[in-house]
Amino acid sequence: MERKLSEYISLSQTIDVTKSSKKIKVGILSSFTINGLDETLTVKCSELDIEYKSYVAGYNQYNQEILDPKSNLYLSAPDITFLIIDIRTLLNEIFHHPYSISSSERKKIVKEKISELRNLILQFKKNCRSKLIISNFSLPSYSPSGLIETKSEFGFHDMISEINQELSKIAKDESSVYVYNFNQFVSKFGEKNIFDYRQFFIGDIKIAFDYIPYLANDLMGYIKPMLGLNKKCIVLDLDNTLWGGIVGEDEFDGIELGQSSNGKAFVEFQKHLLSLWQQGIILAINSKNNFEDAIKVIREHPDMILKEEHFASLQINWNDKAQNLKAISEELNIGLGSIVYFDDDPVNQERIKQEIPEVLTVKLPEDPSQYTDILMSLNDFNVLQKTDEDLKRGKMYSQQRQRVELEQSTKNIDDFLKQLNIKVKIKKADKFTIPRISQLTLKTNQFNLTTKRYQEEDIIKFSSDNNMIVGCAQIEDKFGDSGITNAFIIEKNDKEWKIDTFLLSCRIIGRGIEDAIISYILKEAKNQGVEKIRADFISTKKNSPAEGFLPNCGFKKENEHWIYDLKDPIKSPHHLLLEAE
């Protein structure tokens, strides 16, 4: 349940998040009174330990703020800016009297409005590095032409649909611009609820304040992935979570799945989980059961939508559930903070909340008919860009399981590595790899020397700088393609190069890949007559896996930095093949 706006406003006065490693600067521009949004975002950010700063433009000042290169908005240097314009403001007189003019005049007006919006977006981009989230326009349920609105030649509703479509097209071409589907927001909660005539007449309020918290919730959907707070994995209980009843007691034929009303609810829930898996969300099981009982349902039940191949880890045993969750996190090498946990039992929910607060434990009601709605309401799986690697993630995790099986059956590590036939392909930053390089800097926590976070725009800037090298590596082995799983950024000087960023996706650590890539960089530097390479290790809560890397590669500590003297011989591993573009 969402809290009331008045609660957010009073809570916001008591909040003090400073010195958090997660910071966000937000710009808010709107064409009407949107009081309370800033306060609600303050509270919602503080709950995620985010240091929130904002600039809220004056009432209906969005044009001036965007068009004036010296505006206060730009001075505040936001990371993300929300621009919310309502349809009444955009269409002005035409909103009430669309049929006072001809259809060709309506078309002309729509063209003008689109070019106004395009200009605002382009000016914003020119003046500011912030991401821009622009809302689209809600389609009113009313039309003065009544029933025959749908027969009108480029009618009132067509005008708004056309503007929305064109707006989406503009955003598709601009990597830092996103359309917030405000029209969908209004249809979700209902026009009669969102638009309150009393609040409109008294205060020019066009989103009733009961709904500001829900709007803020949607907007948080953009903030979370910017700070790498999006979730990657759903861990599921089995009994009364994926099917009704308890397989150990009710037996294979006695569980509810498929036919009954409750059974349909579980099937629906599974279908939505599968669609998230197809988008790259990892699924895993954490259940207290006899393994044989439970796996039989997963393998053989005709109404089971999720199959064994969809689960990256199956912790089905009588161990403590918190211990199992930690085992899943270790097995899959993903942080506990990336996990969402679904379990119908309130006692288990409470236990996990207390024991592992980083995990997002979902409050599931007893009634399974609500499960799907709760799953779909989570805005934690959003990403701001989707790469090929994301979509293939489910498959990659099953390949990983096969690698582990090989490792366990091979006696020594060198034999195992040789058998993998690893191929490392070094690539330059280009329009295909830039989104992934940015994503890796935003998401990689463990094997990351400096944990510097870069948006796509930053990477574009670096890659066009002659004094910098931005690269990445794609890794393949006999089990499949792991995609681009390494990135590096180097600042070049004549005598010394500085490693700004060097990171490796956790799923490929420990196979000598990092050694091969660093030795490639060292050789490149040597070939170009460089004398030294400087690197830093900036310690965080999570990056201990990268701690020993520099000294192991032969870097020596001098003052605060790690230095590699290129007069020293450069070692490189022999079990893998390295190619550079």
- Contact residues toward other proteins (CB under 8 A) are 5-6, 9-10, 13, 33, 35-36, 198-199, 201-203, 205, 209-210
Minimum distance from CB of 211 to other proteins (Å)? Answer: 12
The amino acid occupying position 185 is: F
Which CA distances in Å does 50 have to 36, 53, 348? Answer: 18, 10, 28
DSSP string for 222-254? HHHHHTT----EEEE--BTTTBBS-HHHHHHHH
- Reference 342, options 300, 385, 306; nearest CA is 306
Nearer to other proteins, 35 or 398 (CB): 35
CA dihedral sign of residues 61, 112, 136, 50? negative
User: What DSSP designation does 4 have?
Assistant: P
CB of 8 to other proteins, least distance (A): 11
- In the bound state with other proteins, the residue whose beta carbon lies nearer, of 68 and 204, is 204
Closest approach of other proteins to the CB of residue 452, in Å: 40
Give the ranges where 25-155 is alpha helix by DSSP (H).
37-47, 62-67, 72-75, 87-91, 103-127
In whole angstroms, the minimum distance from the beta carbon of 25 to other proteins comes to: 24
- Tell me the closest approach of the beta carbon of residue 95 to other proteins, in angstroms: 21
Tokens representing 556 are: 């020596």
- Closest-CA residue to 27 (of 52, 50, 64): 52
DSSP, collapsed to helix, strand or coil, labels residue 544 as helix
The distance of closest approach from Cβ of residue 140 to other proteins in the complex, given in angstroms and rounded to an integer, is: 21
- 86/196 with CB nearer other proteins: 196
Q: Which is nearer to other proteins, 208 or 359 (CB)?
A: 208
- For other proteins, give the closer residue by CB, 16 or 494: 16
Closest separation in Å from C-beta 209 to other proteins = 7
Nearest to 576 by CA among 523, 494, 514: 514
Nearest CB to other proteins, comparing residues 9 and 473: 9
| DSSP state string for 28-52 | EEESSB-TTHHHHHHHHHHHTTEEE
φ, ψ dihedrals at 433, nearest 5°: -95, -20
Taking the least distance from each CB to other proteins, the nearer of 6 and 141 is: 6
Least separation, in Å, of the C-beta of 39 and other proteins? Answer: 11
Radius of gyration of the chain (CA): 27
Residue nearer to other proteins on the CB measure, 209 or 222 = 209
Query: Residue 61 or residue 333: which is nearer to other proteins going by CB?
Result: 61
Q: Is the alpha carbon torsion for 260, 265, 268, 273 positive or negative?
A: negative
Query: Where would I find the H helices in 261-386?
Result: 261-278, 291-300, 321-332, 346-355, 371-377
Instruction: Report the nearest approach of other proteins to the CB of residue 481 (Å).
Output: 55
